[in-house]
Amino acid sequence: MKHIVKIMALLVALSAFWISLLQTSVLPQSYTWLLPLYFIVSLGCYGLLMVGVGLIQFPTCPHEAILLQKDIVEAKGFLKEKGVDIGSE
Partner 1 sequence: MIRNSMEEKEEKNKYSIIVPTYNERLNIALTIYLIFKHLQNVNFEVIVVDDGSPDGTQEIVKQLQQVYGEDCILLRPRPKKLGLGTAYMHGLKHATGNFVVIMDADLSHHPKYLPSFIKKQIETGASIVTGTRYVKGGGVHGWNLMRKLTSRGANVLAHTLLWPGVSDLTGSFRLYQKSVLEDVISSCVSKGYVFQMEMIVRASRKGYHIEEVPITFVDRVYGSSKLGGSEIVEYLKGLLYLLVTT
Residues near partner 1 (CB under 8 A) are 2-4, 7, 47, 50-51, 54-55, 58-62, 64-65, 68-69, 71-72, 75-76, 78-79, 82-87, 89
Q: Rounded to whole angstroms, how far apart are CA atoms 37 and 79?
A: 63
- Render the burial of 3-37: b for 16+ CB within 10 Å, e for the rest: eeeeeeeeeeeeeeeeeebeeeeeeeeeebeeeee
CB of 80 to partner 1, least distance (A): 10
The residue (of 37 and 61) whose beta carbon lies closer to partner 1 is 61
The residue (of 4 and 37) whose beta carbon lies closer to partner 1 is 4
The residue (of 14 and 75) whose beta carbon lies closer to partner 1 is 75
CB of 3 to partner 1, least distance (A): 6
- Cβ pair 22, 29 in contact under 8 A: yes
